[in-house]
Chain A
Amino acid sequence: MTDTAFPELAGAAQRRLDVTSDAALARIKRRYRSESRFRWYGVGALSLTSVFLVVLIADVLVKGLPAFWQHVLLVDIPLSAEKIDPDGKRDSATLRAADYNGLAREALAAAIPGIEGRTAKKQLNELLSSGAADRLREEVVANPSLIGQTVKSQLLLSDNADLYLKGEGTDIVTLATTRGIATPSAKSGEVTILVAANDFADALLVIKQDLKARADELEVEAKRLELFASEAAAARISELRSEAKALADRYSKPKVAEMLDARLPSMLIAINGGLVKVTKLSDTEVTGEALIPLSSTDEAKPGTWQIVTYATPESNRNANDRMVSFLERLKAEGKVERHFNWAFFTSGDSREPELAGILGSLVGSALLLLVTLALCLPIGVMAAIYLEEFAPKNWLTEIIEININNLAAVPSIVFGLLGLAVFLNFFGLPRSAPLVGGLVMALLVLPTIIIAARAALKAVPPSIKEAALGVGASKQQAIFHHVLPLAMPGIMTGTIIGMAHALGETAPLLMIGMIAFIVDIPQGLTEAATALPVQIYLWSDLPEPAFQAKTAAAIIVLLVFLFLMNGTAIWLRRKFERRW
């Protein structure tokens, strides 16, 4: 029925929503398509992010997990009283000062006997870490009754030895089907081995072919230089050509002996318990240096001696042939063991990669975060409450708010400069201390916490505050007893973000000096320390290859630390959230 008071509704009865025509169906289809497209965008974005995350974590794990294992040498070390404690007084200073490294080296020499010559001995000792005897020293000092006994000791291997044993060395190919009787000329030093059959023919052929390949390369280079019409080019071209000719000459004489060089895979002969590295090679005779001395110069029957090839040329490796031979010998004798690298978590930084640990930077980071949290959480929340509830709405408050928002976006290194100028230079606080680092990080994180806390306070329904005021609570009581607990989840979120930020920031710490090489574990807030991200940065810069694995391992520790922190904060937030 039509109501004369509302004439415009008269036609309303005739107007109905169109849901059946073609245009309507097309509209609906378009809407479904657009929704489905949007869903796929979301899935695509998430997949892409997941792929990146997986690649990142996989890369870090693959590089870093090897650093959590270490290789040690198992030896028996006789603790002779004359060497350690000649006085017999068992004075701990004397015990500490004894030459345990000497004992370690002796034990190693006993493991591979017969090594002579300065270079060889030096390279043998380089298998051990400079801190290899530390554990032995601590054992003896703690328990002097061990003196006079022979103890089983684990000696830490050096970083290159450790890397080799972890598989970054070389493939070893052993040809055991030898055909001729081999006769060595000596037991050590330069050894010539004569063989009754031409076992070395294949190897010689390979070398000759390599000569040809090199000659071809030189020819190509010469041809390239012909494009330049200069005097220097012409001189170089004739150089190259003569080199190529010399090589071709050697190649054309297949029976003449050849010298091996480090560009080619190394060839060694394992005979009579020793290992000879071949330097000169012909069909039936090789000459070389005995890396491991032979037990005798008796002739070896075919099959009892082997041709060993180290596939990666020596120049491409970190461990040279002698070290590889020693390590392989020790491994074969079962004297090498791999165990978990607890020292990584219990020792501080070191110049030697195998001795370096993250405890120092972990403690530094923990102390720093403690200072940051203790400062910025109360100050940030109080500032947010003041700005939200108590501050008069005038221009001064406006300026403060604008500045807080801007500070959240300032590059972190600026805070480092501020810390340098104010905390170090003006207040004279100790350099590199977690106290100063914490102060700087607190400044960095404060704007984030203030902004998050304000948002959380604003989100609490005003009816709660009114109810509290109505019951006769003062404004302060209403805020602290009712509004603040309800704003806690949001404040916790802001704190999580802030703390994670503080844990990972490196630039400001560089400015205030937490970048020094600190070996000791910091005992307090005012002692020099370094932080985890800075440690990662420092290690990534060092040349030794073993530090790369350590860098990745430290990244893993940092990520685990971060997850734990965030997990705790999220658990806390959930606990508070339940009340509302």
Chain B
Amino acid sequence: MDMAVATEMQPHTAVASTQKTKVVAKNTNVFYGEKHALKDVSVSIPDKGVMSFIGPSGCGKSTFLRCINRMNDTIPVCRVTGKITIDDQDIYDPKLDVVQLRARVGMVFQKPNPFPKSIFENVAYGPRIHGLAKSKSDLEAIVTSSLEKAGLWKEVKDRLQDSGTGLSGGQQQRLCIARAIAVGPEVILMDEPCSALDPIATAKVEELIDELKKNFCIIIVTHSMQQAARVSQRTAFFHLGLLVEEGETSHIFTNPSDKRTQDYITGRFG
């Protein structure tokens, strides 16, 4: 299809949806020193659903994801401009406590990274430091429910004191998800959570995401378009630091508006 050059250069805004909006980004730019990694990204992400970010390597999707829980703050040369709000609250407000933000916005990383402590400790650490449990039994209840929600309880209920690093890759990733939801976040960010897992473990995790979306706003970065198609309701396509197109998953994958999107999903590059 033919696209006018002008339209190509403009970022697309969200199609109005029936879901409440959770995260809104306006004109977000990210610089790594001199390098302009993310250019003027604006997007609205709805609550209680899964949004996926797709795009070729180095297009800025992970960078944008890490803006939402301000993990980019830990990189000294990184500079973020623009406005990102969660529930209409500006998360880059200097008065905002970053540590609290990161408790409200959980993150699951590409390579499973459980703490080198026991399984119980892994999940209990977050609630403990945020004072979510008044007593030992409270804590145990939180750990149990998080592990159940993560679909790991049956496999580990007899060995909660074993080291978290002794589990298989898929179990470790589910442990990390349990750890993230134990703190009771509103948003869960997942940066290519299945790329280090085998297909069966991947399937388990995708099942889990399906369950979780009923209660959380989930944003997932993925390399696999099939996964994006399976798991998400909305999809955003990034390319060279720009948000090229964004909309309902089915629409993006069957009838994309932008030629670049079309080229990507048909495998011309990526």
Inter-chain CB contacts under 8 Å: number: 65
Question: Are B116 and A470 in contact, with the CB atoms below 8 A?
Answer: no
Question: Are A470 and B115 in contact, with the CB atoms below 8 A?
Answer: no
Q: How many residues of A contact B (CB 8 A)?
A: 19
Question: Are A468 and B69 in contact, with the CB atoms below 8 A?
Answer: no
Task: Report which of B100, B103, B117 forms a contact with A471, defined as CB distance below 8 A.
Answer: B103
Question: Are A464 and B113 in contact, with the CB atoms below 8 A?
Answer: yes
Question: A277-293: which have CB < 8 Å to B?
Answer: none
Count chain B CB atoms within 10 A of each CB in A393, A463, A469, A470 and give the residue with the most. A470
Q: B74: which A residues are within 8 A, CB to CB?
A: 466, 469
Q: B183: which A residues are within 8 A, CB to CB?
A: 471-472
Count chain A CB atoms within 10 A of each CB in B102, B111, B117 and give the residue with the most. B102
Is the C-beta of B141 less than 8 angstroms from some C-beta in chain A?
no
Bound CA span A49–B179, Å:
52
Question: Are B102 and A470 in contact, with the CB atoms below 8 A?
Answer: yes
Q: B126: which A residues are within 8 A, CB to CB?
A: 471-473
Q: A393: which B residues are within 8 A, CB to CB?
A: 76
Question: Are A471 and B113 in contact, with the CB atoms below 8 A?
Answer: no
Bound CA span A370–B10, Å:
69
Question: Are A482 and B109 in contact, with the CB atoms below 8 A?
Answer: no
Is the C-beta of B180 less than 8 angstroms from some C-beta in chain A?
yes
Q: B107: which A residues are within 8 A, CB to CB?
A: 470
Known A-B contacts A464-B115, A481-B125, A579-B116; A470 and B99 likewise in contact (beta carbons under 8 Å) = no
Question: B180-228: which have CB < 8 Å to A?
Answer: 180, 183
Bound CA span A474–B100, Å:
9
Question: Are B109 and A466 in contact, with the CB atoms below 8 A?
Answer: yes
Q: How many residues of B contact A (CB 8 A)?
A: 28
Bound CA span A474–B102, Å:
9
> Closest approach, in angstroms, between the C-beta of B186 and any C-beta of chain A?
12
Question: Are A467 and B115 in contact, with the CB atoms below 8 A?
Answer: yes
> Closest approach, in angstroms, between the C-beta of B74 and any C-beta of chain A?
7
Q: Mark A461-497, 1 if CB is under 8 A from B, else 0.
A: 1011011111111100100011000100000000000
Is the C-beta of B114 less than 8 angstroms from some C-beta in chain A?
yes
Is the C-beta of A580 less than 8 angstroms from some C-beta in chain B?
yes
B117: nearest chain-A partner, CB-CB: A579
Question: A426-476: which have CB < 8 Å to B?
Answer: 461, 463-464, 466-474
Q: A481: which B residues are within 8 A, CB to CB?
A: 125, 129
Question: Are A472 and B109 in contact, with the CB atoms below 8 A?
Answer: no
> Closest approach, in angstroms, between the C-beta of B73 and any C-beta of chain A?
9
Question: A171-193: which have CB < 8 Å to B?
Answer: none
Q: B111: which A residues are within 8 A, CB to CB?
A: 463
Question: Are B102 and A471 in contact, with the CB atoms below 8 A?
Answer: yes
Question: Are A472 and B113 in contact, with the CB atoms below 8 A?
Answer: no
Is the C-beta of B147 less than 8 angstroms from some C-beta in chain A?
no
Is the C-beta of B176 less than 8 angstroms from some C-beta in chain A?
yes
Is the C-beta of B71 less than 8 angstroms from some C-beta in chain A?
yes
Task: Report which of A467, A474, A477, A580 forms a contact with B176, defined as CB distance below 8 A.
Answer: A467
Bound CA span A461–B108, Å:
16
Question: Are B102 and A486 in contact, with the CB atoms below 8 A?
Answer: no
Known A-B contacts A393-B76, A470-B71; A486 and B114 likewise in contact (beta carbons under 8 Å) = no
Is the C-beta of B49 less than 8 angstroms from some C-beta in chain A?
no
Q: Mark B60-102, 1 if CB is under 8 A from A, else 0.
A: 0000000001010010100000000000000000000001111
Q: B230: which A residues are within 8 A, CB to CB?
A: none
Question: Are A463 and B109 in contact, with the CB atoms below 8 A?
Answer: yes
Q: A464: which B residues are within 8 A, CB to CB?
A: 113, 115-116
Bound CA span A205–B129, Å:
100
Q: Mark B40-70, 1 if CB is under 8 A from A, else 0.
A: 0000000000000000000000000000010
Question: Are A471 and B106 in contact, with the CB atoms below 8 A?
Answer: yes
Bound CA span A393–B108, Å:
29
Question: Are A467 and B114 in contact, with the CB atoms below 8 A?
Answer: yes
Q: A463: which B residues are within 8 A, CB to CB?
A: 109, 111, 113
Q: A472: which B residues are within 8 A, CB to CB?
A: 99-104, 106, 126, 129-130, 183
Q: A466: which B residues are within 8 A, CB to CB?
A: 71, 74, 109, 113
Q: Mark B116-147, 1 if CB is under 8 A from A, else 0.
A: 11000000011001100000000000000000
Question: Are B129 and A470 in contact, with the CB atoms below 8 A?
Answer: no
Bound CA span A468–B107, Å:
10
Bound CA span A477–B102, Å:
13
Count chain A CB atoms within 10 A of each CB in B76, B106, B125 and give the residue with the most. B125
Q: B69: which A residues are within 8 A, CB to CB?
A: 470
Bound CA span A470–B107, Å:
5
Question: Are B109 and A471 in contact, with the CB atoms below 8 A?
Answer: no
Bound CA span A474–B97, Å:
10
Q: A580: which B residues are within 8 A, CB to CB?
A: 116
> Closest approach, in angstroms, between the C-beta of B5 and any C-beta of chain A?
31
B76: nearest chain-A partner, CB-CB: A393
Bound CA span A482–B113, Å:
12
Bound CA span A469–B100, Å:
10
Bound CA span A579–B121, Å:
13
Q: B106: which A residues are within 8 A, CB to CB?
A: 470-472
Question: Are B109 and A469 in contact, with the CB atoms below 8 A?
Answer: no
> Closest approach, in angstroms, between the C-beta of B163 and any C-beta of chain A?
8
Q: A482: which B residues are within 8 A, CB to CB?
A: 115
Bound CA span A330–B153, Å:
85
B176: nearest chain-A partner, CB-CB: A467
Question: Are A471 and B179 in contact, with the CB atoms below 8 A?
Answer: yes
Question: Are A469 and B115 in contact, with the CB atoms below 8 A?
Answer: no
> Closest approach, in angstroms, between the C-beta of B100 and any C-beta of chain A?
7
Bound CA span A2–B113, Å:
44
Task: Report which of A469, A473, A486 forms a contact with B116, defined as CB distance below 8 A.
Answer: A486
B69: nearest chain-A partner, CB-CB: A470
Q: B113: which A residues are within 8 A, CB to CB?
A: 461, 463-464, 466-467
Bound CA span A580–B179, Å:
19
Q: A579: which B residues are within 8 A, CB to CB?
A: 116-117
Bound CA span A471–B100, Å:
10
Known A-B contacts A579-B116, A580-B116; A470 and B180 likewise in contact (beta carbons under 8 Å) = yes
> Closest approach, in angstroms, between the C-beta of B12 and any C-beta of chain A?
30
Bound CA span A470–B179, Å:
10
> Closest approach, in angstroms, between the C-beta of A325 and any C-beta of chain B?
75
Bound CA span A482–B117, Å:
9
List 4 extra interface pairs beyond A471-B102, A481-B129, CB under 8 A: A472-B99, A472-B129, A472-B183, A482-B115
Top 4 nearest A-B pairs (CB, nearest first) are: A472-B103, A470-B107, A463-B113, A471-B126
A–B Cβ pairs within 8 angstroms, 25 of them: A393-B76, A461-B113, A466-B113, A467-B109, A467-B115, A469-B71, A470-B69, A470-B109, A471-B102, A471-B103, A471-B125, A472-B101, A472-B102, A472-B103, A472-B106, A472-B126, A473-B102, A473-B125, A473-B126, A473-B129, A474-B99, A481-B125, A482-B115, A486-B116, A579-B117
Q: Could you list which residues of chain B lie within 8 angstroms of chain A, going by C-beta atoms? A: 69, 71, 74, 76, 99-104, 106-109, 111, 113-117, 125-126, 129-130, 176, 179-180, 183
